[in-house]
Structure 1
Amino acid sequence: MTSATPDSGRVTGLEGAVVAVAGAGGPAGHAVLLRLAEAGAVVVGADADPARLAEGVDAARFAHGGATVTGDTVDLLSLDETRAWAHRTEQEFGRVDGLVHLVGGWRGAASFAATELGDWDVLEDLLIRTVQHTSLAFEDALNRSGNGRFLLVSAAGASKPTAGNAAYAAAKSAAEAWTLALADAFRKTGAEEGPRAAAAILVVKALVHEAMRRDKPQAKFSGFTDVADLADAVAGAWSKPTEEVNGHRLWLTPKP
């Protein structure tokens, strides 16, 4: 991996990059913290659950001695708190080269008619509002990076909604649209020189991790993406030219 160019300080790989991870307390967050630390990045995780966040931060530090991995308890439903997190991160480390959005949640119903609109209220906050806040808070810093990445993890169901997943699929679809709008903003800011940052979507059917396999040893988890593979895909986003990442969906499961 390469590091900064001598004249601009522009990070062209993950060595020395500063990457923020929203929703870092879950299994996917723990895997991404580990992978980014392994690649030499400075990793700044955030989660609403301080205990789960600390577990992931400690594991990444232990696995990769010398890596800088920190954690902040942030309410991503507050735009002010999210902006403060972005500002604090850039002030402390001098740059922000990535925001990985892993905040998730699921609500479903037995049928379309059985859909509870209260589920939409929950998912709107978890899956849409947090994307809005992180993107608005980190856009400028990612542009200043010169090789920034905003990565949203989404679900194949957004492209092919099912009757019982109306609220979930609609929320995921809205989050994708918002992310693609950010990609267009990066494109317009870069003008003829091309985007200086990229917003992209990593699409999975669902995620699986070791605890799930232990709990259901007979389950096949067909089409699921292991959190370690997701983490590899996240890390790989910095190895491609920015214009090849910006505004694209990376499918980690077969298209529906």
Structure 2
Amino acid sequence: MSIRKEEARSMSTATPGNGNGGPLEGAVVAVAGAGGPAGHAALLRLAEAGAVVVGCDSDPERLAQGVDAARDAHGGATVIGDTVDLLNLEETREWAQRTEKEFGRVDGLVHLVGGWRGSATFAETDLADWDVLEKLLIRTVQHTSLAFEGPLNRSGNGRFLLISAAGASKPTAPNAAYAAAKSAAEAWTLALADAFRKTGGEEGPHAAAAILIVKALVHDAMRAERPNAKFAGFTDVKELAEAIIGTWSKPTQEVNGNRLWLTPQP
């Protein structure tokens, strides 16, 4: 396991929002799947908001690009990249424990691990696609949620944020495996939200699990490759990053267990 890190600030007594660097000053936020375009955008925006950001990805080169870009854009920001196999529960638990031990808290886990497989028709669905998607879209959610539930509860204002797709609520024939996997990941996340609710008792939840739903994501490179495309209904990765930040500005009880639609609800 490799760790890329710049000298870290002590976070043992920090509380989100009580500094001058941004709305998440003092928060520690982990980003799973930080090597892709959405992950890069999240690293940038979280660093800008003042958070200590701990990203992980299975691709160390893509992860390093995002970490370096976030550091360069926001001088003085603490942005770390860990190469973690999220399909390994023990390795995922070690990542969560190491992060909490080093910085004294974990205030967020943003789940951006993605992937897509589809077919021309329902009858042509290849069940090998399900095998791939089950690992990427479900198993990684299971492992990160199990690993980070405790730290997020201890934060007092934690967020577990799953990025999902509108297709999970209205499956289409060619996307049977993808929609089913996304739907399962959403159900698992809502079960985590119920756990947060029950742990909080009469005081209300101390952490929130929520689902941010898009039709699909778009970024600058996609637009450059397809200059004539409209990308109707797509959410820009920068807009997604802004929505992620915004969940901390709402009361935990209002966020917990909800689907937050960034595209029209089908």
Give me the TM-score of the superposition, normalised by structure 2. 0.92
The CA distance in 2 between the partners of 1:172 and 1:47, in whole Å, is 20
The CA distance in 2 between the partners of 1:211 and 1:188, in whole Å, is 43
In the alignment, structure 1 residue 11 sits paired with structure 2 residue 19: no
Instruction: Report the secondary structure of 2:201's partner residue.
Output: helix
Does the 8 Å contact 1:11/1:146 carry over to 2?
no
The CA distance in 1 between the partners of 2:96 and 2:187, in whole Å, is 22
Does the 8 Å contact 2:117/2:129 carry over to 1?
yes
Q: CA deviation at 1:9?
A: 5.4
The CA distance in 2 between the partners of 1:49 and 1:27, in whole Å, is 13
Instruction: Report the secondary structure of 1:238's partner residue.
Output: helix
Counterpart of 2:177, as a letter, is A
The CA distance in 1 between the partners of 2:36 and 2:16, in whole Å, is 28
The residue that corresponds to 1:142 in the other structure is 152
**Once the two structures are superposed, what CA deviation does each residue of 1:19-48 show, in whole Å capped at 9, x if it has no partner?**
000000000000000000000000000000
The CA distance in 2 between the partners of 1:153 and 1:129, in whole Å, is 14
Aligned residue pairs: how many? 249
The CA distance in 2 between the partners of 1:63 and 1:241, in whole Å, is 30
In the alignment, structure 1 residue 28 sits paired with structure 2 residue 33: no
The residue that corresponds to 2:4 in the other structure is none
Residues 37-186 of structure 1 aligned to structure 2 (within 5 Å)? 37-186=47-196
In the alignment, structure 1 residue 189 sits paired with structure 2 residue 199: yes
**Once the two structures are superposed, what CA deviation does each residue of 1:87-129 show, in whole Å capped at 9, x if it has no partner?**
0100111100000000000000000000000000000000000
Does the 8 Å contact 1:11/1:145 carry over to 2?
no
Counterpart of 1:154, as a letter, is S
Does the 8 Å contact 2:15/2:25 carry over to 1?
no
Percentage of pairs with the same residue: 82
**Once the two structures are superposed, what CA deviation does each residue of 1:169-209 show, in whole Å capped at 9, x if it has no partner?**
00000000000000000000000000000000000000000
Which 5+ residue runs of structure 2 have no aligned equivalent? 1-12, 18-22
Q: CA deviation at 1:11?
A: 3.0
Q: CA deviation at 1:14?
A: 1.1
The CA distance in 2 between the partners of 1:43 and 1:237, in whole Å, is 16
Counterpart of 1:206, as a letter, is A
Provide the aligned C-alpha RMSD in A. 0.9
Q: CA deviation at 1:165?
A: 0.2
The CA distance in 2 between the partners of 1:158 and 1:38, in whole Å, is 32
The CA distance in 1 between the partners of 2:202 and 2:47, in whole Å, is 34
The CA distance in 2 between the partners of 1:55 and 1:242, in whole Å, is 32
Mean CA deviation greater in 209-218 or 12-21 = 12-21
Instruction: Report the secondary structure of 1:254's partner residue.
Output: coil
Instruction: Report the secondary structure of 1:175's partner residue.
Output: helix
Which 5+ residue runs of structure 1 have no aligned equivalent? 1-7
